[in-house]
Structure 1
């Protein structure tokens, strides 16, 4: 779905105002180390990540749509990121779940859950 592509593009802009355009007002994020329940908390988390990992590129790989309805959609995927920490190349990956809802003919992200891949 286009909304996931829009979300990834917004994330890679490294501008939270772009990310905010695809966020539902009640968006909740579950990160490995923290839950964020307001746009302010989500923004702080994103901006901190962007300041640590310079020139970060974020991708969704192996996307599986679990449900696509007229007003909601849920997908899982493997996330992959790469960039530079203190001038040294780094990369990583994990698993993600995103839940989107449609309100007023606009698809918005209401939940994201990121975690490490199970071994």
Structure 2
């Protein structure tokens, strides 16, 4: 069940707002598809995360309705609803969207995120 822990570790790392923590659960070569951008390097992914953290202050990111749609010895894919809340220009905001995460085991048997696809549903004040 290491893939389930990998998802929780990823969410926990995201909520530290420190990309070094996030990077520790991402496989080199990961590809991220965001609503407005595709990131194909750790530098691009880092920039996207840090821009988001600078935009939504004190952001808290959560996942609900997690469904593991494929699982084998070396990979696992899940879909979920993501939610975030925090402060944008001093006002409290929340938002949500759909996510797909693909995890794989590396040469050390560790589960790492190799792909994320997020699509934003809404922003509410």
Alignment TM class, shorter chain as reference: over 0.9
Equivalences, count: 117
For residues 95 and 9 of structure 2, what CA distance do their matches in structure 1 show?
Answer: 21
The TM-score normalised by the length of structure 2 is 0.92
For residues 112 and 20 of structure 1, what CA distance do their matches in structure 2 show?
Answer: 13
* 1:61 equivalent in structure 2: 64
For residues 86 and 105 of structure 2, what CA distance do their matches in structure 1 show?
Answer: 32
For residues 58 and 33 of structure 1, what CA distance do their matches in structure 2 show?
Answer: 18
RMSD of Structure 2 on Structure 1 (CA): 0.6
CA deviation map 1:59-103 (0-9, x unaligned): 011000001211000000000000001110000000000000001
Aligned with residue 92 of structure 1, among 87, 91, 95: 95
For residues 3 and 33 of structure 1, what CA distance do their matches in structure 2 show?
Answer: 25
Matched ranges for 1:19-38 at <5 A: 19-38=22-41
Gapped regions of structure 1 (runs ≥ 5): none
Per the TM alignment, residue 116 of structure 1 is displaced from its structure 2 partner at its CA by 2.9
1:111 aligns to 2:115 (yes or no): yes
* 1:9 equivalent in structure 2: 12
Where 1:47 maps in the other structure, the secondary structure is: helix
For residues 11 and 72 of structure 2, what CA distance do their matches in structure 1 show?
Answer: 21
1:78 aligns to 2:81 (yes or no): yes
For residues 25 and 81 of structure 1, what CA distance do their matches in structure 2 show?
Answer: 26
Q: Which runs of 4+ in 1 moved over 3 A?
A: none
